[in-house]
A and B are shown apart, each in its own frame.
Chain A
Amino acid sequence: MITAWLQDLNALAGGLFLLALFGLVATRQVQGCLRLFVALSALLAASAFLLTAIYGVLDLAVVGTVDVVTKAFLIPRLLRRALHDEVFARREVTQVLNVPTALLGALGLAVAAYLLSQPLLRFTGGGAVASNLPVGIAGLLIGGLTAAVRREAVPLFLGLLAMENAAFFAGIGIAPGMPLLADVAIAFDVLILVFVVGVLTRAVQERTGTTEVGELILLREEGAR
């Protein structure tokens, strides 16, 4: 009874994870994107804690804690410190695709992810895997779409981080006993990555006065504005 309840809650975390991913594709404001990323990380941690209770594997609780500390607290702090406030107040006016089209594309990818995971789930059976695996695959695809569609540096990068989040979301469902060291190592990797990208974006902004990296496809003369 309790397990069924927990699995429902885990499935709910998966549904909300998917919803936050759609939000990441569609939100214009950079600040809003960052908040959605924090929500994604919190939902990933929630799923990890719920799976701890379902599988009885303590490793997952540690993974969840590391996830909350790095992705929900440190990464937003780091990005906010590395970048100018003006970046976060900005709205992205033009995307490569307009918002409803991008949303429909993301929806198609989500449906495709569910269809793709059906044959895989035939071997693993139902339970927590059935809710985590399709959401994880969908997250990988939608995160990729976000990175392809956005032009601002920060949302683009958050799309890539969302892919990483989604891979974890599927991972904790499939292999709850994943070596803890790998998880912690990846968490630190991501932290360093965020730091490097933050500094890089800052440099881009100082050079060109914008973070619309989607526009920076032409070579420019040094110093030309």
Chain B
Amino acid sequence: MSDRILFNAIQLLTVLVFAPLASGVLSRLKEIVQSKRGPSIWQPYRDLWKLFHKDEVVSDRASWIFRFTPYLVFVTPLFVALLIPVLTDYPLFFAFMGDMLGGGFVLALGGFFATLAAVDTANPYGPVGASRTRMVGFLAEPVFMIVFFTVSFVAGSTIPYIVQQRWVTPRANFVAPSHVLLMLAFLMLVLAEGGRIPVDNPTGHFELAMIDDSKSLEYSGPGMALVKWGAHMRLFVLLCIFLNVLVTPWGLAHEQTLGAVLLAIPLVLLKIFGLLLVLVGIESSLSKLRLFRIAEFLGAAFVTSVTAMISRLFSF
């Protein structure tokens, strides 16, 4: 019993501690690909440290939503981390509290409040980014739905642990067309939801072209730190879902011992590093899409996911 509590705590701490590292490695790799040196991989931690030690400025026009949002943005990815297999391939306490759909809704809650907070302070760029995020969000929604439908058709459940056990772990299913196409569709979703390059430029500083970042322009000090940390963790959790549930459920702890769980941490980080290399490849070889082309990108993701579904549904 106390073991389980400890494992859960380790799972949360992994997400909390290593999420900024993943973002740092990603940006460093991107700079290296562009023949630059780039910031240290520890830079996100330094940024967070700096921001936590600064004063916060809040507009006197801001309502409670503006103050409340950073905590929500910070907490929601952690909550999702409780529902998904981060380190273990057996379910922990909260595994049956919510399925993938539930996790999606919890993440969407953070996004929803971030949107409200962006509109809250009458900053001119906030609403622009907020409406764009909503646009990307509602175009991504059908893809999410179809992905979950397919997963539930195949595995008979949408609980991440069961999906991973029943469908992805048997090697024979790996090259099934529904699986490969679903991976492709979900990768496109991760790019769109994580605000990565074909959809949004995370390193851009030009407010008019921003999608995700312009929502947090008004924050400063600890509030900004929480929002940033939340964004790092959101990406980390999305990568974890992609890898541990849908693509490579290998290297997760199988025995219920502390050693096995601790050993799983470097293995999972290694897998995430591999995926980051893929992301760097994608981000360095594509350019950012114009705003109205995003519909085409997510349309392609939708078509891919539906193809995955029909190839499963009508197979003999």
Contacts and interface: CB of A to CB of B under 8 A. Distances in A.
Interface in A1-45: 4-5, 8-9, 11-12, 14-16, 18-19, 22-23, 26
Interface in A82-114: 99-100, 103-104, 106-107, 110-111, 114
Contacts of A111: 306, 310
B172 A4 contact: yes
Nearest to B315: A130
Interface of A: 4-5, 8-9, 11-12, 14-16, 18-19, 22-23, 26, 99-100, 103-104, 106-107, 110-111, 114-115, 117-118, 121, 125-127, 130-131, 134
Interface of B: 172, 175-178, 180-181, 184, 295-296, 299-300, 302-304, 306-308, 310-311, 313-316
Given A11-B176, A103-B303, A114-B310, A131 B315 contact: yes
25 contacts: A4-B172, A8-B172, A8-B177, A9-B175, A11-B177, A12-B180, A14-B177, A16-B177, A16-B180, A18-B311, A19-B184, A19-B307, A22-B303, A22-B307, A99-B296, A100-B295, A103-B300, A103-B303, A110-B307, A111-B306, A111-B310, A125-B316, A130-B315, A131-B311, A134-B314
Contacts of B303: 19, 22, 103, 106-107
Contacts of B311: 11, 14-15, 18, 131
Contacts of B314: 114-115, 117-118, 134
A100 B298 CA distance: 9
A125 B304 CA distance: 26
Given A118-B314, A130-B316, A134-B314, A15 B299 contact: no
A155 to B, nearest CB: 16
A175 B175 CA distance: 25
